[in-house]
Amino acid sequence: MSVIEIQLSVEIEMDYDSFSGRTPQEFADLVHDDVINAIWEMRDDDVKGLYTDVKKVTTYDEGKVTDHQLSGYRIGLTA
């Protein structure tokens, strides 16, 4: 059986409550984990490896645009 490699780029815009107790980076990490978990749950038997990273986190608040510093890590999971 062959293995296929698929590279995706996903941008997600969501509501963010700065008073929720999570920094933008922590919120991005949570959403990132949700996406990874969803892929594993839907394609568990097919996925041989999943490598992801958060590239950029930006908040938009009443016209103010803020790019947030990332911790610069990459996650790799193999079956």
pLDDT digits (tens, 9 = 90+) for 38-60: 988 898 888 888 888 888 899 99
Residue 70 in this model has a pLDDT that exceeds 80: no
Kindly report the pTM of this predicted structure.
0.74
Rounded CA-CA distance 69/52 in Å is 17
- Look at 71 and 56; give whichever has higher pLDDT: 56
Give me the sign of the Cα torsion angle 57, 71, 25, 54.
positive
The answer to whether 27 and 20 are in contact (CB under 8 A) is: yes
Check residue 8 and give its pLDDT.
Answer: 83
The answer to whether 25 and 32 are in contact (CB under 8 A) is: no
Of the pLDDT bands very low, low, confident and very high (cuts 50, 70, 90), residue 36 is confident
Residue 14 in this model has a pLDDT that exceeds 90: yes
